[in-house]
């Protein structure tokens, strides 16, 4: 299979605020690897408005978050961390966690990368 380039003006950002995993504000997402283009990876840019975050959840694969804009928070049962542009977060499979803009009063955007077959469970 040849390489596949997705241009920055291809695809649409979708309002995901109503999905059960999100709370507290507006959330948009845009797939970086449109459905079906990879058997192994999924990658999405997720934009959290001020106050928005995920509910606690787990994934069946590791998850990598790379912060591309703003200030946000990530947390697990051990505590929470403030994150900003250039920070990366590795979340091992099965770890209860949450992430987003939260109470930082700033919007935050991150790229999330996981296995394409990963399953998410909202707790």
Range of the domain at 20: 15-122
> For residue 87, is it within any domain?
yes
Q: Is residue 55 a part of any domain in this protein?
A: yes
User: Is 3 part of a structural domain of the chain?
Assistant: no
Strand partners, 97: 57, 76
Specify if 71 maps to a domain: yes
- Note whether 91 and 97 are within 8 A (CB): yes
Number of domains comprising the chain: 1
List b or e across 103-123, with b for residues whose CB sees 16 or more CB atoms inside 10 angstroms.
Answer: ebebbbbbbbbbbeeeeeeee
Give me the CATH number covering residue 30.
2.60.120.10
Dump pLDDT digits (tens) for 20-77.
999 999 999 999 998 778 999 999 999 999 999 999 999 999 999 999 999 999 999 9
Asked, for residue 70, whether it belongs to a domain, the answer is: yes
Single pTM value for the model: 0.94
């Amino acid at each position: 299979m040849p390489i596949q380039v997705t241009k920055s003006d291809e695809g649409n950002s979708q309002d995901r605020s109503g999905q059960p995993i999100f709370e507290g504000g507006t959330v948009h997402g845009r797939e970086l690897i449109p459905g079906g283009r990879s058997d192994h990876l999924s990658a999405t840019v997720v934009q959290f408005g001020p106050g928005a975050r995920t509910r606690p959840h787990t994934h069946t694969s590791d998850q990598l978050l790379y912060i591309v804009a703003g200030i946000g928070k990530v947390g697990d049962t051990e505590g929470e961390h403030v994150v900003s542009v250039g920070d990366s977060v590795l979340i091992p499979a099965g770890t209860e966690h949450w992430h987003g803009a939260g109470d930082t009063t700033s919007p935050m955007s991150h790229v999330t990368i996981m296995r394409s077959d990963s399953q998410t469970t909202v707790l």
